[in-house]
Amino acid sequence: MENQEVMVVYKWTAKEGNSEALKGIYKEVESQMKSNEPGALEVQCYFDESSGTLVVMDLFSDANAVGFHLGTTAAGHFEKLLQIAVPGEFLFCGNVPDSMKQAATGMGLNATFAPNIFGFNRKA
């Protein structure tokens, strides 16, 4: 069976003086995803103090789980994030339907959609 997981990797760069606020919002996002999104399999956040850049890796069970996240947790934080940070590129890695591509583009995200073509996983 084909792997349906979708990984989304993206970054936000905090506006001047907003690094702690950005990290705080993502602590809330991570907690909400853990509690309310069974299709969110993994969330990892990385922070570059020198540039105020937060890099996030979200792994979802499938495109439906990504859609649920975008419509719930992400939607609830997006406007606040735009006030304190600048979004970078969003990389959607996996099979994403056209409707979701249109929704992400409609949110103003600089998004790239790339289905998997090859690779391996030693953890599997």
**Does 124 map to a domain?**
no
Give the domain range for residue 40: 6-114
**Does 123 map to a domain?**
no
**Does 121 map to a domain?**
no
Q: What is the DSSP string of the chain?
A: -----EEEEEEEEE-TT-HHHHHHHHHHHHHHHHHH-TTEEEEEEEEETTTTEEEEEEEESSHHHHHHHIIIIIHHHHHHHHHHEEEEEEEEES---HHHHHHHHHTT-EEEEE---S---TT-
Percent of the chain with pLDDT over 70: 98
The pLDDT of 68-86, averaged and rounded, is 95
**Does 101 map to a domain?**
yes
**Does 20 map to a domain?**
yes
The CATH number for 25's domain is 3.30.70.100
**Does 29 map to a domain?**
yes
Tell me the pLDDT band of 72, cut-offs 50, 70 and 90: very high
**Does 97 map to a domain?**
yes
**Does 78 map to a domain?**
yes
The pLDDT of 43-52, averaged and rounded, is 98
Q: Is the pTM of this model over 0.85?
A: yes
Report the 10 Å Cβ neighbour count for 106. Answer: 8
The structural domain count of the chain equals: 1
pLDDT of residue 1: 43
